[in-house]
Amino acid sequence: MEELLSIHLKIADRDYTFKSPPEEETMLREAWRLIRDRVEVHRNRGMRDTQDVMALIAIECLVTSLKSDEQSRQLQNRVYDKVAKLNQLVISTLA
């Protein structure tokens, strides 16, 4: 049975407890740091409603994720095209 860590984090004035495998603790804490920084940015811009701040952060995170997914797809397509061209070159050389 895998051991889970109990990690306590404060996000936008609320305390949360996460159960996390030890190998994910660093990523969880980095995600917490990034959210904390984004909360601070929005509050410095005058936004005080926590629900509004968290909604904006959620949208920002999803847009970033979608952009990253698209970049990964484009990179995979370029790699696939290069491999296909190399394959054709090898086949034509061997024929």
Rounded Cα distance between 55 and 65, Å, is 15
- How many structural domains is the chain composed of? 1
Domain with 77, as residue range(s), is 5-94
**Residue-level pLDDT, tens digit, the chain, 95 residues:** 679 999 999 999 899 999 999 999 999 999 999 999 999 999 999 999 999 999 999 999 999 999 999 999 999 999 999 999 999 999 999 97
Whole-angstrom Cα distance, residue 86 to residue 92? 10
Say if pTM beats, i.e. exceeds, 0.75.
yes
Cα–Cα dist 75/79, whole Å: 6
